[in-house]
């Protein structure tokens, strides 16, 4: 199938502000591009195109840097990505790997991070999940718990909420589901990393709170990374990865080194009907 993804995001600033963004499909999806991506950044003051520099961060994500002029900018992109059109793939026999046997490059996904306080949820994690069969089953039990523990509500979004706070407050958005699941996995010595990207309501009934830009996580089992989604708690079709990191602090969609106001946020994620099998 082919999936159209894009965005129109507008921010305003009172003065020039340095900015970094992680908005576009991950380099691992470059081979799936049907149309070449050409994200644009235009000045709200005069409509001119703003110069953007691209780099790859320590997690392998595609990042862009720019100087937002006084008045602000409009970020736009519209492209088509080819996708296999199959749900997330799992191996229900995938085992956990003992910490001493893990590759060194995944160790950082076992540690506490800004939004995932492993030490604060460790006792709870072992009490809840210590008796479950290790491996895929344990990660799925964590997803079941988080899905039942947190009520999804856009009105209660808060960008400072941590995993432990989400567990106690029992409300949040997809990043809160993801942070809590990651923290619980890490507490059980299962490496877990934060992912975000485009995810439309493809192959599922219409949702009154439709998805467009979503957070999920990957757990390292049996020597491979597998996608899990504590928010939806079911395999989904058409995830278009944008970025991975330890938690949301590593992969902000837009981060300015100074104040800005978000004025417009429109995301497109839709299957192109002409490609439907």
CB burial of 207-243 (b: ≥16 within 10 Å; e: otherwise) equals eeeebbbbbbbbbbbeeebbbbbbbbbeebbbbbbbb
Residue 227 · residue 178 · CB < 8 Å? no
Residues in the chain with pLDDT values less than 70: 208-211, 274-277
**The predicted structure's pLDDT at residue 128:** 97
pLDDT for the residue 208: 66
**What pLDDT score does 277 carry?**
43
What CA–CA distance (Å, rounded) separates 54 from 89? 32
| pLDDT for residue 38 | 82
Q: Are 26 and 61 in contact (CB under 8 A)?
A: yes
Domains parsed from the chain with CATH numbers = 2-84+253-275 (2.60.40.2250), 99-237 (3.10.620.30)
Q: Evaluate the CA torsion angle 257, 45, 62, 253 in order and state its sign.
A: positive
pLDDT of residue 204: 87
Instruction: Output the pLDDT for position 276.
Output: 42
Residue 35, pLDDT score: 79
Q: Which residues contact 109 (CB under 8 A, 6 or more apart)?
A: 186, 191, 192, 193, 220, 246
The number of residues making up the chain comes to: 277
**DSSP string covering 199-255:** ----SS---SS--SEEEEEEEEETTEEEEE-TTT-S--S--EEEEEESSGGGS-SEE
């Amino acid at each position: 199938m082919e999936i159209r993804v894009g965005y129109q995001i507008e921010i305003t600033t009172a003065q020039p502000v340095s900015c970094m963004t992680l908005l576009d499909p991950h380099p691992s999806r470059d081979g799936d591009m049907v149309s070449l991506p050409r994200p644009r950044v235009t000045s709200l003051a005069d409509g001119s195109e703003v110069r953007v520099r691209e780099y790859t961060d320590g997690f392998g994500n595609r990042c862009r840097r720019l100087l937002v002029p006084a008045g602000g900018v409009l970020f736009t992109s519209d492209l088509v990505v080819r996708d296999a059109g199959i749900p997330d793939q799992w191996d229900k026999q995938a085992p956990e790997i003992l910490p001493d046997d893990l590759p060194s490059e995944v160790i950082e996904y076992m540690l506490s991070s800004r939004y995932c306080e492993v030490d604060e949820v460790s006792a709870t994690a072992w009490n809840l999940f210590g008796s479950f069969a290790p491996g895929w089953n344990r990660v799925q039990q964590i997803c079941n718990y988080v899905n039942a523990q947190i009520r999804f509500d856009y009105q209660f979004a808060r960008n400072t909420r941590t995993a432990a706070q989400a567990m106690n407050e029992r409300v949040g958005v997809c990043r809160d589901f993801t942070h809590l699941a990651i923290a619980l996995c890490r507490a059980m010595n299962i490496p877990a990393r934060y992912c975000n990207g485009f995810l439309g309501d493809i192959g599922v009934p219409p949702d009154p709170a439709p998805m467009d830009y979503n957070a999920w996580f990957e757990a390292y089992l049996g020597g491979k990374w597998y996608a899990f989604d504590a928010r939806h708690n079911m395999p989904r079709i058409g995830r278009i990865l944008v970025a991975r990191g330890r938690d949301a602090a590593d992969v902000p969609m837009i981060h300015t080194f100074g104040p800005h106001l978000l004025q417009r946020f429109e995301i497109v994620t839709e299957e192109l009907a002409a490609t439907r099998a």
